[in-house]
Amino acid sequence: MNKKDFQVFEKNDVVYLDSAATTQRPKVVVEALVDAYVNRNANAHRAGYELSIKATEGMEEAREKFAKFVGARKEEIIFAKNTTEILNNLARSIPINLEDDVLVTDMEHHSNFVPWQQEAKQVGATFRSVPLNPKTYELDFNIDLIKSNTKVFSFTGMSNVSGYMPNIKEIVRQIREKNPNTIIILDACQLAPHKIVDVKELDVDFMAFSVHKLYGPFGVGVMYGKYELLEKLEPFLYGGSMIGKVSLEVTTWADIPHRFEAGTMDSSSIMTCVAAIDYLNKLSIEKIEENETKLLELAKQKLNEIEGVHIIGHQDENNYGPLLSFYVDGVDADDIATMLGSKGICVRSGKHCAEPFLNAIGVQGTVRLSFGIYNDESDVEKFISALNAALKLLR
């Protein structure tokens, strides 16, 4: 679709099908990062000289871009290193007590499973997980799982194993009716690069995603939080920039959102995000989705023609994003990925940092392919050709 915009494909003869792990960066993003280091390299929000002012302006422009991208207020956007850090911070910052119930799902990436598990364990709270349907491998959500003491429900908007997308709006609606006090957190790491995500429409309380999966730089995570909840939330990280006043007796916090951004932020990477969002907006999420859906259908069709291949889920394509995982009878997933890699086909294999999912379906490991805006039909054809060649040797 847009391979010409990415220098990596000029210099490397690869078929990149691992965008669920990280995306490649277009030229405009690489150039923006260089510009940030050359022309605006200073601490943001720290000084009155020109370089620092430019860094501050660049960082705040990025905040405005992300606010518009997800339909939030600027003050509701908070920067961190990545989604993992955000979810850990939320698990530590939201007050969870002995009598509380914490709910996640079997679909979660470890980053949205382990922090809640460990925090619940530390305080003695109940920790539970919504199971998968054993036939479809999709989320088997039932409103009876929400209890009167369910403090947090944290779940993914798109599985990083299967690509399954639960009905976020309907789940949130049911929870609001059953227990309006439950804090609802959405891990949008896989969802945000492929779908329009409007936080007001979805009505989630907090949301997190990583910009390196959005064709932007490493080192930037974005958190959305409802302002009224951010006002009640205590910071977890302490240090520079997040302080109001400090004395021996008491410390006060800076205004929202800065009270949640302790220490020196990676302002160069953050301001570079402006170029990434502008690039995506120019293409439009709708057109991206159309192309990726076409490629997903082609890949599924070709894989189903190969004997012994089993795709995880994907019975109803309307519920899936542009990634899929599969396993092959009698063949190790890592061996398949290694042989594909030797031919320049970049895929992921293993448990994908989502062991509860793989354990629930009784599979040791899968091969995952995931699409980005630079993929086209020739990539699918090359992948299938290399896979067939690999299976001839491995079977």
DSSP per-residue letters across 98-165: TT-EEEEETT--GGGTHHHHHHHHHHT-EEEEEPBPTTT-SB---GGG--TTEEEEEEESS-TTT-B-
Q: Return the pLDDT at 134.
A: 85
Q: What is the 3-state secondary structure (H, E, C) of 303-333?
A: HHCCCCEEECCCCCHHHECCEEEEEECCECH
Please provide residue 328's backbone torsions phi and psi, each rounded to the nearest 5 degrees: -125, 130
Nearest partner of 90 among 100, 78, 99, 98, judged by Cα: 78
Residues 188-217 as b/e (b if ≥16 CB within 10 A, e otherwise) read: bbbbbbbbebebeebebbbbbbbbbbbbbb
Tokens 């079977």 locate to: 395
Residue among 189, 273, 346, 353 flagged as catalytic: 353
| Span 25-67, pLDDT tens digits | 999 999 999 999 999 999 888 888 999 999 999 999 999 999 9
Distance CA 130, CA 107 (A): 8
Query: Partners of 345 in the beta sheet?
Result: 15
Burial class (CB in 10 A: 0-12, 13-18, 19+), 180: exposed
Closest CA to 273 of 58, 124, 10, 53: 58
Contacts of 174 (CB under 8 A, 6+ apart): 143, 146
pLDDT for res 300: 97
State both tokens at 144: 């009876």
DSSP 209: E
Task: Tell me how far the alpha carbon of residue 252 is from its chain's centroid.
Answer: 32
pTM above 0.85, yes or no: yes
SS3 category, 20: coil
Nearest-CA neighbor of 84 among 62, 116, 60?
A: 116
Active site residue 353: yes
Instruction: With a cut of 50, list the residues of the chain below it in pLDDT.
Output: none
Could you read off the pLDDT of 335-346 as tens digits, one per residue?
A: 999 999 999 999
Helix, strand, coil shares, percent, the chain, to 5: 45, 20, 40
In sequence order, the β-bridge partners of residue 18 are 370
Residue type, 63: R
